[in-house]
Amino acid sequence: MQSLSNRFVYNANPSRVVFGTGTIESLPSEVERLDLKRVLVLSTPQQVELAEALSSRLGDKAAGIFSGATMHTPVAVTEEAMKVAAETGADGILAAGGGSTTGLGKALALRTGLPQIIIPTTYSGSEMTPILGETADGVKKTVTTPKVLPNVVIYDVDLTMSLPASLSGTSGINAIAHAVEALYARDKNPIIDLMASESIAALAGALPAISLDPGNTDARRKALYGAWLAGVCLGAVGMSLHHKLCHTLGGTYDLPHAETHTIVLPHALAYNASAIPDVIDRLRGVLGSENPALALYDLAGAVGARRALKDIGMPEDGISEACSIALSNPYWNPRPLEGEPLERLLQRAWAGSPPVME
């Protein structure tokens, strides 16, 4: 057993989770339990078929479908969905899909107070957090409030089976990023340490297996379990440099969310390594590597993910701007943020070079 701190605080967010295979069958009973009569179903344009299937499952309790969810939760899209919710008389929200749809559901819940059910189909983990990130005028801002917590999360392994292996890899490493930063959060605690370690181990083991065999049900189950735990970690403690950089890059340059996290994570961990020797020791055991930052970089390679920001749309001349934005309103971080080392970090991430612990 790990040694316990003399004193710590653990904030547990209220949630109801239904986890397993075929759990989507419980949707009508969960709607009934919440006493909902008119449920608005949310999705991205790419997952409208899933939205239609869920709407059919709801029967006369389906208020309609809004399939305009998109990454980084633009306020303009939320406003469109608000109009649909009002026009259809919705008294509840069902968000099905990845982080984009979850974000839209949270944004609607924040503004309307409507109860929400979330059915994740990726490994983002955001469904378990009281955090909402919204984008307006090219700037992504986050708010933390229990108002955006879902009433129910239904994890159905079956709904992740069709997630392409490439997307599974980046979505899963995005979840790992939540758990890694939870290990060195300012408000870390032994309970979250256990969840984070379990999450990282589950995902790091499952993702390469999914890459080799996307139909591996056991690997899919482990990945979804790991993502759930990562989401709990993200929702319970504060995040640091990694998340600040990803929010800056995503909001400013409209980069894909999960891929940005996948690329930045090894470099952010390497930047902080000298300030968190205990966490590095723990990650060595969890990842089975003397260099955890390099292990995460290699994991991205093993799942076929792109490892360079330049390959996902980041302009090289934006590196200095991104540093300035990140430094202007920084999150707490175990190592003080310094301009030149931060620029070197982003330069390596832009080029796709291996992480370097300075």
- The residue written with tokens 């303009």 in the block is 76
The amino acid occupying position 91 is: D
**Whether the Cβ atoms of residue 213 and residue 32 lie closer than 8 Å to each other:** no
151 pLDDT above the threshold of 80: yes
What confidence tens digit (pLDDT) does each residue in 242-252 have? Answer: 999 998 998 88
pLDDT at 67: 97
What value does the mean pLDDT take over residues 173-194? 96
The domains spanning 17-160 and 165-351 adopt the same CATH topology: no
Domain boundaries, the chain: 17-160, 165-351
Task: Evaluate whether the domain defined by 165-351 bears CATH number 1.10.357.10.
Answer: no
DSSP letter (8 states) at residue 329: S
With pLDDT > 90 as the criterion, what percentage of the chain qualifies?
86
What value does the mean pLDDT take over residues 216-230? 97
57 pLDDT above the threshold of 90: yes
Structure tokens at 132: 């909402």
3-state secondary structure of 257: helix
Helices marked H in the chain — which ranges? 27-33, 48-58, 75-88, 99-112, 165-183, 190-212, 217-236, 241-253, 257-272, 277-287, 292-302, 319-328, 339-351
pLDDT at 73: 93
Residue-by-residue DSSP string for 302-316: HTT----GGGGT--G
What confidence tens digit (pLDDT) does each residue in 306-344 have? Answer: 999 999 999 999 999 999 999 998 899 999 999 999 999
Closest CA to 61 of 87, 82, 41, 78: 41
What confidence tens digit (pLDDT) does each residue in 91-106 have? Answer: 999 999 988 999 999 9
What value does the mean pLDDT take over residues 24-50? 97
Residues in the chain: 358
pLDDT at 169: 96
pLDDT at 5: 63
What value does the mean pLDDT take over residues 84-91? 97
4 pLDDT above the threshold of 70: no
Q: Determine the Cα–Cα distance for residues 111 and 310; give it in Å rounded to an integer.
A: 36
Higher pLDDT, 12 or 19: 19
pLDDT at 137: 83
Q: Phi-psi category of 41—alpha, beta or left, where left has phi over 0 and alpha has psi -120 to 50? A: beta
What is the fold, at CATH topology level, of the domain defined by 17-160? Rossmann fold (3.40.50)
The model's pTM is 0.90
